[in-house]
Amino acid sequence: MLGFIKTFFKGAKPRLRLRQEKDPVRYEKERALAASATKRDRLKLAKNPNTHLEILYYLAADADEDVRLAVARNDSTPLQVSPIIARDKSVDVRMALAQRLMELLPELSEAQHSQLYAFAAQALGVLALDEVLKVRIALSSVLKDMACAPPAVVTQLARDLERQVSEPILRYCAALPDKDLLDILSEHPQDWVVEAIASRRTVSERVSDAVVEKRSVSGGRALIANDGAMLSNDALVRVVESARELPEWQKPLCLRKHLPGFLMKEIVRFVDTSLHKFILARTDFDDATRIEIEDTVKRRMRFLVDDAGNRITPKDKLAILHKTGKLDDAVMADALALREHEFIQMGLALRSKLPLDTVKRMFETRSAKAVTALAWRAGLTMRFALDLQRELAKVPHTELLYPRNGEDFPLSDEEMDWQIGFFKPEKA
């Protein structure tokens, strides 16, 4: 299909004829030939660029397809007849008109040709609804690169049910307004739609926000990797929160330019260790942020290694840390980032003085309140309690308990004591 389109639209650029001197004698002869029963006479008129405009207008409705095709290709055919030709029963005639109109569009977009542009836009709007797929594909393949493309036409193509038609417009067409992009995002849940919009050369903050809200794996990954996508800090915060559960977003996040340092410090808390090299290679942070990130990365790389450089088990690591009083939030956060879930559960049991079986049952309930109470009993922060809810207990997003005032526990001490008592064995 692409080869067909390239071949079809290859050729000399048509000329825009705005004026024509009328020759009364020749005009009468042309009228007679246009009414002739001989196809050859009518075809000769239809091909002649000097044929009077009124005659070409008349021949646009000729009974013979070859005559109408010649009219559609004639540089002198008035654009006022284009909406009529756009409804021609012959697909070849409609394709010939599409070729001529799209090659003329850049010239027609000038202010002095506004009326002619309107006729061309009206005809293209008809063609954008054409029942023949190849006509719509041809329009899409050319208009996607035209800044002067009529917005109503590209909007129609962008809403086309055929992916071959709509995707090029969604991905590349600068003439497609943000309003329509937002409408399409709200109406079409398909991942390829979100990804196409997220991959545009430029994506406004409003459109980026809508892409983030879709939580499309491929769409979000494309948006994060797109340097032309404008993301507000609020949107980036939501992206980072979602990336905890969407590992496909993590690498593009680590590579995204101009990412605020406070967010990178958050990202390094949960990304896979294989991505640490990308974080350490960045040079766009201040010294304090860089040192903090490097310390976190290096600490996690040595998580299950003793002072002599030997590998040790999570249980041995816990014993050393607990004995030296170093089993704190930072260590537990490292374990969570490294997905050392057994280490975390054993560490919580040590700090909370609860049996390990009790700790495990509290996680198995996927209860935000139970996990929050457990973190409180273990003397850890509410921020870490939120991480535990998300990543270890897999609490549904809508049921998460968030810190109050940014860091305080949202439950009273009495409520958390009740949660502990509900799970704790009588003799514990």
Reported as a pLDDT band with limits 50, 70 and 90, residue 218 is: very high
Write down the pLDDT at residue 185.
Answer: 94
373-394 mean pLDDT: 93
Mean pLDDT computed over 315-330: 85
Average pLDDT over residues 319-333: 85
Q: Write the CATH number for 144.
A: 1.25.10
Residue 289 has pLDDT above 90, yes or no: no
In a domain, 225, yes or no: no
Question: What would the pLDDT profile of 130-188 be if each residue is shown by its tens digit?
Answer: 999 999 999 999 999 998 899 999 999 999 999 999 999 999 999 999 999 999 999 88
Which of residues 8 and 367 earns the better pLDDT score?
367
Distance CA 368, CA 401 (A): 6
Q: Is residue 97 part of a domain?
A: yes
Domain ends where: 176, 210, 237?
A: 176
DSSP of 318-374: HHHHHHHT---HHHHHHHHHTT-HHHHHHHHHHHHT--HHHHHHHHHTT-HHHHHHH
pLDDT the model gives residue 272 = 77
Among 61, 354, 340, 334, which residue's Cα sits nearest to residue 371?
Answer: 354
What does the alpha-carbon distance between residue 367 and residue 381 come to, in Å, rounded to a whole number?
17
Averaged pLDDT score across all residues of the chain: 88
85 occurs within a structural domain: yes
pLDDT of 235-261, one tens digit each?
A: 999 999 899 888 899 999 999 988 888
pLDDT attached to residue 400: 92
Please give the tally of structural domains in the chain. Answer: 2
Residue 315 has pLDDT above 90, yes or no: no
Compute CA 195 distance to the chain's CA centroid, rounded to the nearest angstrom: 4
Per the model's pLDDT, the better-predicted residue between 309 and 201 turns out to be 201
Kindly report, residue by residue over 99-128, the tens digit of the pLDDT: 999 998 888 866 567 888 899 999 999 999
Q: What band does 12 get if pLDDT is binned at 50, 70 and 90?
A: very low
pLDDT of residue 428: 47
- Looking at 144, 176, 208, which one is the last position of a domain? 176
Is 396 part of any domain? yes
State pLDDT tens for residues 47-81. Answer: 999 999 999 999 999 999 999 999 999 999 999 99
- The answer, yes or no, to whether residue 8 has pLDDT greater than 90, is no
Kindly give the interhelix angle for 233-243 and 217-225, rounded to the nearest 10 degrees: 130
| Amino acid of residue 34 | A
What is the structure's pLDDT at 372?
Answer: 96
pLDDT for 208 beyond 50:
yes
Domain limits at 394? Answer: 317-423
245 located within any domain: no
Q: Which of 147, 176, 205 is the last residue of a domain?
A: 176
Say yes or no: 8 and 157 in one domain.
Answer: yes
